[in-house]
Amino acid sequence: MINRLEQVLRVIGATALFTLFALIVLQVVLRYGFGFTPFFTEEIGRYALVWSVLVGTAVSVAINGHIRVTFVPDNMPPLYRWWWMRFLDLITLLLMAVLTFAGVQTVEFAQGQTSDGMQIPLMYPYTILPVAFGAAFLFIFIRISRSWRDRPWSQNGSAEG
C-alpha cells in the first residue's frame, strides 16, 4: 500500500511538473508570438508548482532523500546514532502532524473563497496541503516503526531494553 501511495504521489508530481512546463512554453509562445496571454496559464502554473513541491516533499520523506546534515550522527557510535535519528524522526512526525492539521483547517477556511483569475473554489488547489503532509506523516510513521523493529541492540543478541 505504501509503495502504491508513493507511486501515485510521483505521478501527481510528474504531472504537475509537466503541466507547469507546458503552460510556461504556451505562455511564452503566445505572448511573444501572438501578443496574447491566456489568463489561466499563470494561475494554473502557480498551483502546479506548489503541488509538485509538496508532493516531492512527501516522496522525499518516503525514500529518506531529504536534505540533512550528517556530520553529527556520522560521528556517533551506532546506538547513539540510532537514538538521534529516531529523535529527529519524532520531531519530523510531530511537524507533519501539525502541518496536516493546519492543511485541513486551510481547506476548510478556503471553502467559500474563489481564485481571482479562474474563479474556482480555492479549496481544490489547497487540498494538496493535507494530502502531501498526511502522506509524509504516514511515511515517517512507518519509518519509525520499521526502525524500532530493526533497533541495533536487538541485532547484537544483547538484552532488549
CA torsion 81-84-88-94 (nearest 10°) is: 140
Cβ proximity of 51 and 57 under 8 Å: no
Tell me how far apart the alpha carbons of residues 5 and 137 are, in angstroms, rounded to a whole number.
13
Does the structure show a pLDDT above 50 at 160?
no
Beta bridge partners of 114: 121
Does the structure show a pLDDT above 50 at 159?
no
Give the pLDDT mean for 102-108: 97
| Entry pTM | 0.85
Distances (CA, A) of 60 to 40, 87, 108, 160: 30, 18, 27, 31
pLDDT mean across residues, the chain: 90
CB within 8 Å of 106: residues ≥ 6 apart: 126, 129
Does the structure show a pLDDT above 90 at 152?
no
Confidence of residue 155 (pLDDT cuts 50, 70, 90): low
- Per-residue pLDDT of 124-146, as tens digits, reads 999 999 999 999 999 999 999 98
Tell me how far apart the alpha carbons of residues 49 and 29 are, in angstroms, rounded to a whole number.
20
- Per-residue pLDDT of 49-58, as tens digits, reads 999 999 999 9
